[in-house]
Amino acid sequence: DGGITQSPKYLFRKEGQNVTLSCEQNLNHDAMYWYRQDPGQGLRLIYYSQIVNDFQKGDIAEGYSVSREKKESFPLTVTSAQKNPTAFYLCASRPWTSYNEQFFGPGTRLTVL
Amino acid sequence: GDSVTQMEGPVTLSEEAFLTINCTYTATGYPSLFWYVQYPGEGLQLLLKATKADDKGSNKGFEATYRKETTSFHLEKGSVQVSDSAVYFCALSDLRNTGNQFYFGTGTSLTVIP
């Protein structure tokens, strides 16, 4: 059963701690993305990666870091430098050479206490 | 640069009413256009798409036509149900000009009351 998994669904952390959000896909997609969504707001792009070992900053990359060591995995680290990290985080993937859509994971809700 | 402008919400309709959510876009090339739906606490799901001018995407009673002359991709449904209550996002992708980047509208919240 192909798809994108994000874990955990809910995550709580204390202020000042780094936290890593997991994103795994078994769709054999080349491109992967991280978005942030705040209540009542649209999606804002944090980082995206088009191939392994390469990634680009999106609109709000400050305070976040990513890695892409494997095609199927694109973890996002929310660092203590991120001023307001409480949000809903969405991971997505897409095949490279097509006009296909992005496929989204179920999201992780991060709450920093 | 590329962008999507979407009708602001929230929208509240009675069951069986007609729905239109407006979406217009700006793109330098020939983008593909998408409508996504998001239910509370979940990720986005593709609702429909169109990859070239005059294409009509349709799914679950929803339709949208890619109009190049008006740079629009309005979402319509003839008779909404309570289960259609969700947030709807219009999006574009212009693979040849901006690679794998997607551009999303701000979302329109729809509530359907019985």
Residue pLDDT, tens place only, B35-93: 999 999 899 999 999 999 999 999 999 999 999 999 999 999 999 999 999 999 999 99
Asked if residue A100 has pLDDT above 80, the reply is: no
- Give the integer Cα–Cα distance in Å for A107 and A92: 9
Q: Which residue has the higher pLDDT, A19 or A97?
A: A19
Q: What pLDDT does residue B8 have?
A: 85
Q: Which one of A6, A90, A101 has the shortest CB-CB distance to B46?
A: A101
What number of residues does chain B have? Answer: 114
The predicted model gives A104-108 an average pLDDT of 96
Judge contact between B9 and B109, C-beta under 8 A.
Answer: yes
Residue pLDDT, tens place only, A50-90: 999 999 999 999 999 999 999 999 999 999 888 899 999 99
A106 touches chain B (CB under 8 A): yes
Q: What pLDDT does residue B7 have?
A: 86
- Give the integer Cα–Cα distance in Å for B95 and B112: 35
Q: Which value, to the nearest 10 degrees, does the dihedral of the CA atoms of residues A6, B83, B105, A82 take?
A: -40
Radius of gyration for chain A, computed over Cα atoms and rounded to the nearest angstrom:
13
**CA A89 to centroid of chain Cα atoms:** 6
Burial B7-46 (b: 16+ CB within 10 A, else e): bebebebeeeeebebbbbbebeeebbbbbbbbeeeebbeb
Q: Do A42 and B107 touch (CB under 8 A)?
A: yes
